[in-house]
Structure 1
Amino acid sequence: MPIVHVSMCAGQSKTYRAAVLDGLYLALRDALKVPEDDRFMTITEHAPENFRFGSAFGVERSINVLYITISVFNTRTAQQKAALFQRIAEVLTENPGIRPEDLFVTVHDLPKENWSVGYGRPFA
């Protein structure tokens, strides 16, 4: 049950944003085997004056960089996360055509007791 949040500079089309969310869902299904209809995702757009990026780690990013944050149960292996990173790059470079240099992805591992997925009850 990953939760995905994407931060991006404002100005992309509705079709582009849909392709980002659909592509991330596909990558999660392929790499982490998330269940069908497990789509807990948001996009936040920022005005250019409120959006910064750099070339840290030798990566030349553009104004089209996506900051992708994924929260997952802490049961995922390093290999699964590496496969997810790779699959995200494959899918999103194909559609909607994002440069792989513009994909900045972080995964936050959280124990299940830190989740409540409904009714105010802890996930068990």
Structure 2
Amino acid sequence: MPLLYFDVSEGRTPSEIKALLDTSHAATVEAFEVPERDRYQVVRSHPTGQIVALDTGLDIARSHHLVIIHVVSRPRTRAQKEKFYALLAERLQRDCGLDPADLIVSMTENDNEDWSFGFGRAQFLTGELH
């Protein structure tokens, strides 16, 4: 945890998807100080035209390479979130060639009782995880 959902347009190669996931995970580990094996990622690929993401009046020019990342996580500090956004933009540009204008990130916070990692147990509540 956190759980990251990636929405992308069709057309990326498996190696491009792997780089996107690996780079995002490294930023997650650094910004949120989670263990390396704390990795939960889901990629959803959409046909061209099925993602509409305008600019909320910010004058951001987007391309068909848009990546939308939805993060579901236990609460994080404002500083952690700002570090995460900056690391993602910087590293995805460096490692994947993603224009920072083509990155949208949204976070949804939940709490310990909202997670079960298997076996029908809430591991944060049972003490198996901290």
| Greater Rg over alpha carbons, structure | 2
Pairing 1:63–2:64 present: yes
Alpha-carbon separation, structure 2, partners of 1:28 and 1:20 = 12
Q: 1:22: how far off?
A: 0.3
* TM-score w.r.t. length of structure 1: 0.93
SS in 2 for 1:4: strand
Pairing 1:21–2:15 present: no
- Residue 114 of structure 2 corresponds to 114
Output the amino acid matched with 1:23.
T
Matches within 5 A, 1:85-96: 85-96=85-96
Q: 1:51: how far off?
A: 2.3
* TM-score w.r.t. length of structure 2: 0.89
Alpha-carbon separation, structure 2, partners of 1:51 and 1:83 = 26
Output the amino acid matched with 1:71.
V
Alpha-carbon separation, structure 2, partners of 1:45 and 1:53 = 15
* RMSD after superposition: 1.1
Alpha-carbon separation, structure 1, partners of 2:55 and 2:36 = 36
Q: 1:63: how far off?
A: 1.2
Alpha-carbon separation, structure 2, partners of 1:8 and 1:49 = 11
Pairing 1:101–2:101 present: yes
Q: 1:55: how far off?
A: 2.6
Q: 1:38: how far off?
A: 1.5
Q: Give a deviation string over 1:15-71, Cα, whole Å, max 9, x none.
A: 110010001100011111110121110111000132222232322111111110111
Give runs of ≥4 in structure 1 deviating > 6 Å. Answer: none
SS in 1 for 2:23: helix
Question: Percent same amino acid at aligned positions?
Answer: 29
Output the amino acid matched with 1:22.
D
